[in-house]
Amino acid sequence: MFPLLLSTLSVLSVPASASTLLGLSTPPLHFVLAADMTGSSHNPAYGYAKQAKLLAQSVLLNQVRSGDTVTLLRVCSGVQTIADFAFQSKNGARMTRSDILRYTEALTQPCTTKGSAITGALEQARAALARTPKVGGVVVLFTDGAVTDDARRAGLPGALGGVLRVPSTRQVFLAGLSPEKDRSGDSVRDTFMKALGGAGKDARVLTSGAYDLANVYPTFNTLVKKARR
C-alpha cells in the first residue's frame, strides 16, 4: 500500500529525463484520470480514498508534461468532470504542487449518493480521447470494481471496448480493485474482470488491486514512457 503523499509530493516521483530538464519537447499524451469514490472508499482497512488521491497526485507529478491534455473525472452515481485542460509550462516544468493538491482534493471527494457509474466513466473517457485523435491516450480508472453498484454494468464490456477502439488509446490502467468478497462469494476484483469480458484481456489493459498498487505503479510508469514514442 502506498505511503501517504501529503507535504512534499516526492513519494513515487521519478527522475526527470534529460529532454525534460533541457526543455525539449516529447510527443504529447492525453491523460484521463477517473476516481470512483464509492464503495471501498469508505473502508479504512484499505486506505482506499488515500490511495486514490496518491495515485492521481503521482500521475500529475510524474507523468504529465507540458503539452499534454488532462481530463479528471469524479465517479459517483454519475460522472462529474473536475477538469479538462491542455497543460502548458515554461521549459518543461512539471505541474505545480498547489495545482496538483487542488485538483486531487476535488477529484477524490467522497460520494454522498449510492451507485457507481463505472460504465459511464469509461464512456466519458472514450469521448474525451476521441476529441484529441492525434494524441496518444492514457486512461487511469481507480475503482474498487464493485460492478453490482453500477446500474449500467451490462454495458461495461462495450464501454471498455469503446475506449480500446479509439485509435489513439495507448494504455488503460484499472487500479485499486478490491479483494473483498462480493455477493457471489468471489472477490470483487475477480467479478469485475469477468464482467469486462474479452476487453479486459487486451494487452493495453493493466490492472492492480487495493494491496499491490505500489508494486504495479512502476510498470505503469514504464508503459507511459513507451506510449510517448
Superfamily for domain range 25-227: von Willebrand factor, type A domain (3.40.50.410)
Please tell me the predicted confidence (pLDDT) of residue 60: 97
Read off the C-alpha cell for 92.
518543461
Report d(CA 8, CA 71) in Å as an integer.
24
Instruction: Return the closest-CA partner of residue 56 out of 15, 92, 25, 99.
Output: 99
Please tell me the predicted confidence (pLDDT) of residue 8: 37
Please tell me the predicted confidence (pLDDT) of residue 46: 66
> pTM of the entire structure?
0.88
Please tell me the predicted confidence (pLDDT) of residue 58: 96
Walking along the chain (229 residues) 10 residues at a time, the average pLDDT comes out as: 40 47 71 87 66 95 96 96 96 94 95 92 98 97 93 97 98 94 88 96 95 93 94
Degrees to nearest 5, angle at CA 201 with 193 and 28: 105
> Domains of the chain: which residue ranges?
25-227
Report d(CA 197, CA 81) in Å as an integer.
27
Please tell me the predicted confidence (pLDDT) of residue 177: 93
